[in-house]
Each structure stands twice: as structure tokens, then as C-alpha cells.
Structure 1
Amino acid sequence: MTNKHGDFIWYELLTSDADAAQNFYGPLVGWDFADSGQADVDYREISMNGGGVGGLMPLTPEMTANGARPCWLGYINVEDVDRMAEAILSAGGSVHFEPKDIPGVGRFAFVADQQGAMFYVMKPTPPAGDPDAISKAFAATEPMVGHCAWNELATSDPEAALNFYHDLFGWEKDEEMDMGPMGTYTMLRHDFMMGGMMAKPDGMPVSAWTYYFRVPDIDVAVDTIKAKGGEIIVEPMEIPGGDFSVNAMDPQGAAFALVGPRH
């Protein structure tokens, strides 16, 4: 694929109830779901107007027994999964799932940074007949409804995390924003503005990534979240550029966020 090293290329929901999660997010974001065709695995591909955005997978009993809970995870494109897994360990991170191949999909590993924020690294296999395929799961250059609009890390050590992601993925620190008692919000750039980083709030149990998906109307989305059994964590707030963001929890307990205009 033509995404470069360090790009977000896929988003994945691990959930305790795949059918309920599909029924929640479909009307909320406008996503379509389709079985991936992987043998012996209930893995559902998420798309928006035919463009791939991510996947949905039920937690297995083994995952739950090992402490896994419903959550959203991001995939970062890398040139060499095995080398990156070694580099992550050398940098003080951890590897929770050793590099593995999925035939026809690519090679991946499940890892975490020094502060414990989890994510995947992956080298995808391009689709047959389309060697230059590019993931637009993260809408890097223009707003795209149903795609990720922002990648945000809340971490117990922002300075260490910034060095970690810069050294491994080439991300650059952009402008900063003073958030008063909450500290400094640092914008992250990878040729394009890709997200932000801030100190983890005291009430947040672990360092973690939050992914903001774009919706056409933030107030309609809030109503849908409430009507379908989700929980609003942070009410809609205006962000630079005039859009509004909202932080929420789905009915199974996975944290997520949305961004969109107010009409």
C-alpha cells in the first residue's frame, strides 16, 4: 500500500457483543458491515460508501480471561513488523501479540508504548490487482464522514511518549495549546496534522488512544448515542475550525469520540 511508515491505516473495535455493537454504530456513524470471510473468525469489516475504515471483532473468552475489555484500537503502517516489534521493546514498550501473518491481509503485531497505550503495527498486503491501494481510514487530507478525523493519545508521560512515537514512526510535534489545569495539548504532524497528545486525566485508569470519527451532525449523533444506550462522557465542545467534538462510551463499554458540525 502507498501509505507511508507511521500512518494510521485501520481501526478495530473489540467488543463483548458484536451484533449489539453493529446495531449501535451503524445508525450512529453511517457504517456498513460485511463478513471478512476469514475462516473460524467472526471479523466484520466496517466501510463507509465502499471505503474501508476498520473492523469489528467479538472478544474471545481467552482475551477476556487475560483482562481484555471492549475498546477501540488503531493500526499503524510500518515497513517491517518484526523490526518494529524489536524496536518497540528496545524503546521500553511491550509486545502483547508477536508478529503474525494473516494470509491475503498482511503481517501485524499487537503492542503498547512505554506508558501502556495499546495499538497494532502492520504491513498490509495490497489487494490483488491494486498494488498502489491506499487506506483512507484516517482522512488525512480532507474531512470524510464516517472516517477517522483525529487520533488522540492521553498518556501518563507526554514527553516520553512524544519521543517514543517520533523515534519509531517519525511523528513531529506541531503547535501547542494551553488547556489550563489540564496541561498542554500537543498537536502531532506526519506530513499532515494527524492528532494530538495530552497528559492523562487523573480519572482515566490507563494511558490510551481515542479515535474521533466524523459524523454529519454532532447533535443528531448525541441523540442517537443516548437513544441507543450509550453514555456521553464529555458533552459537545467547539474545537478549532468550528466543528464540535463529543466523547462517549458505547453500550458495551468501549470509549470512542465523534467530531462534526452543529446545524
Structure 2
Amino acid sequence: MQGNFIWHELTTSDPAAAAKFYTKVTGWQAKDSGVPGVDYILFQVPGFDMGVAGMVKLMPENCNGNTPPSWSGYVAVDDVDAKAREFADNGGSVLTGPADIPDIGRFAVVADLHGAAISLFKPVMPEGPMPPMPEPGTPGTFGWNELYADDGKEAFAFYSKRFGWQPDRTVDMGQMGTYQTFKLGGPGIGGIMTRMEHMPAPFWNYYVNVEAIDAAADRVKGAGGQVVNGPHEVPGGSWIVNCLDPQGAMFSLVAPKR
């Protein structure tokens, strides 16, 4: 399990408005987590009880403009504390934790050697059989994880040592540089490239699967979001758009057809 993205989470200034937006755009259902005393929303693919993502409100002390709404990815690790130390000992840093979420798991928020934040997570595995999950590629699941780094080659070397990620495809993007996709013993799960000059800082970006990209882009705009890049066809034949939700969080969509 170590090295796989197993959760994605939106931290936002207005959860109610964000829930309305994402349910319209992705087809998710929004449901309270049911954990007493915890205000946490689960996003579910219709027909499945297990969530594919979560949402939490920005804490009041972070709502002053210093911490914008954003999506984060959680990577499974065998030992959160040891992996957090490993990040810190190799040029990264520990931003939050490690800490326990009762009956859920242990997590830490860390940053890589260029400052891009990512979360580490070891879940508490429930007893008995796991509930069914939607197949990879199903609309509403996350289909890709992408890092814009200060130095793509250096970042890939850093993460491959931390998580065991393996090189998959190396794509020449012309003036945009080289795009290195990565895998973990199976199909590709993400890509890393050097960030473009207009990007103010390194960051991770996450893609949700949709059926068709043009219709999804129209839903983004119709629900009050922005399409800031695309649609574009990418190597392999998929189509993508990069977007901002109404609260300003960046997210992306990927589809097998236009």
C-alpha cells in the first residue's frame, strides 16, 4: 500500500457552497461523515458507500487570506512518524503532526525539498471485508496526481526515494520542459514537471475523472467556477481542463473524450 494516493481532501472557506459546486460538476454526493463532534463532509460516487474524498472548513485563524482554499493528497505509508522524519532529514519539512485521528488513522502534513505540501497517512484498517469501491477510471474517482516542482528531475528523485515511485513515461513538452510520469508497480498514477514561470510556488494538482471534458467544463462555468487552462488533449488520448472552484481552490478534470 505504501506510496499510493488513498485520499484527497478539500479545505475550503465555504463548505456548503463548495458541496453544491462539486456535486454539480463531478456528480458526487455530499454526506456528513457521521463522526460525533467533527464537521467533515464525505464525497461519494453514487452507488458506493465508501467516500472518494473529504472536505473540511478552513479554521478561523487561517481565513485571513494567508491560507487559500486548496486540495491535498494523502499518500499511504507504513509508519507516519518515520516517513515524516525522512522528509525533514532530506531537505523537506513537517508542517503538521504527526497526529492521530481517532478510529481513522494517523497522519502528518509534510513539504518536499521545494516546499510543495503533501499528506502522509496510515489508516486504521476495519475488521471484516472492505465495502466495494468504484473501478479506477469511473467518473467521480481521482485519476491523476500532478506536481509542479521547482526542479522536476530533482523532485522525482526525492519522491522515488520516499515512496518507491518508478519512472513510467518521459514526455517532451517542448518549451514547457519534460513531463515525467510515475507508477507503483502498475499503471501510471501521476506526473512531475518543473513549474512554469507564471506559477508562484510549487504545488500538487489533482484530477477527477469525468465522462466528457467539454460538458464538464460547461458545468464548471455554469456552477460559478473558472476554467483556467484547456481543454487540451494529452499523450495517451485523454482530455483535461485545469479549473478554479468558486472559493479559489485549484482542481482539474480528465476524460477519455472531448
User: What range is the shorter-chain TM-score in?
Assistant: over 0.9
Query: What is the rounded CA distance, in whole Å, between the counterparts of 1:254 and 1:232 in structure 2?
Result: 12
Whichever residue aligns with residue 64 of structure 1, its letter is: C
Query: What is the rounded CA distance, in whole Å, between the counterparts of 2:27 and 2:205 in structure 1?
Result: 19
Question: Cα distance, 1:218 vs. partner?
Answer: 1.1
The answer to whether the Cα contact below 8 Å between 1:10 and 1:135 also exists between their aligned partners in 2 is no
Q: Where does the alignment leave 5 or more consecutive residues of structure 1 unmatched?
A: none
The answer to whether the Cα contact below 8 Å between 1:44 and 1:56 also exists between their aligned partners in 2 is yes
Whichever residue aligns with residue 180 of structure 2, its letter is: T
Query: What is the rounded CA distance, in whole Å, between the counterparts of 2:71 and 2:247 in structure 1?
Result: 12
Question: Cα distance, 1:65 vs. partner?
Answer: 4.9
Query: What is the rounded CA distance, in whole Å, between the counterparts of 1:135 and 1:200 in structure 2?
Result: 37
Question: Cα distance, 1:98 vs. partner?
Answer: 1.4
Question: Cα distance, 1:205 vs. partner?
Answer: 1.2
Runs of at least 4 residues off by over 4 Å: 134-137
SS of the counterpart of 1:5?
A: coil
Alignment deviations for residues 151-187 of structure 1 (CA, whole Å, 9 cap, x no partner): 1100011122111111110001222111111100111
Partner of 1:119: 118
The structure-2 alpha-carbon separation of the partners of 1:135 and 1:102, relative to structure 1 and needing over 3 Å to count, comes to farther
Partner of 1:14: 11
Residue 105 (structure 2) pairs with residue 110 (structure 1):
no
SS of the counterpart of 2:66?
A: coil
Q: Where does the alignment leave 5 or more consecutive residues of structure 2 unmatched?
A: none
Partner of 1:256: 251
61-70 or 200-209, which deviates more: 61-70
Query: What is the rounded CA distance, in whole Å, between the counterparts of 2:132 and 2:112 in structure 1?
Result: 23
Residue 193 (structure 2) pairs with residue 186 (structure 1):
no
1:210 to 205, 223, 234: 205
The answer to whether the Cα contact below 8 Å between 2:114 and 2:150 also exists between their aligned partners in 1 is yes
The answer to whether the Cα contact below 8 Å between 2:205 and 2:250 also exists between their aligned partners in 1 is yes
Aligned residues: 255
The answer to whether the Cα contact below 8 Å between 1:88 and 1:168 also exists between their aligned partners in 2 is yes
2:150 to 138, 148, 156: 156
TM-score, with length taken from structure 1? 0.92
Query: What is the rounded CA distance, in whole Å, between the counterparts of 2:94 and 2:112 in structure 1?
Result: 9
Question: Cα distance, 1:135 vs. partner?
Answer: 9.4
RMSD: 1.8
1:177 to 171, 179, 182: 171
Alignment deviations for residues 167-212 of structure 1 (CA, whole Å, 9 cap, x no partner): 1100012221111111001111111211111110111111111111
SS of the counterpart of 2:63?
A: helix
Partner of 2:36: 39
The structure-2 alpha-carbon separation of the partners of 1:35 and 1:146, relative to structure 1 and needing over 3 Å to count, comes to same
TM-score, with length taken from structure 2? 0.94
Partner of 1:100: 99
Question: Cα distance, 1:20 vs. partner?
Answer: 0.6
Partner of 1:59: 58
The answer to whether the Cα contact below 8 Å between 2:24 and 2:223 also exists between their aligned partners in 1 is no
Partner of 1:241: 236
SS of the counterpart of 1:246?
A: strand
The answer to whether the Cα contact below 8 Å between 1:9 and 1:136 also exists between their aligned partners in 2 is no
SS of the counterpart of 1:262?
A: coil
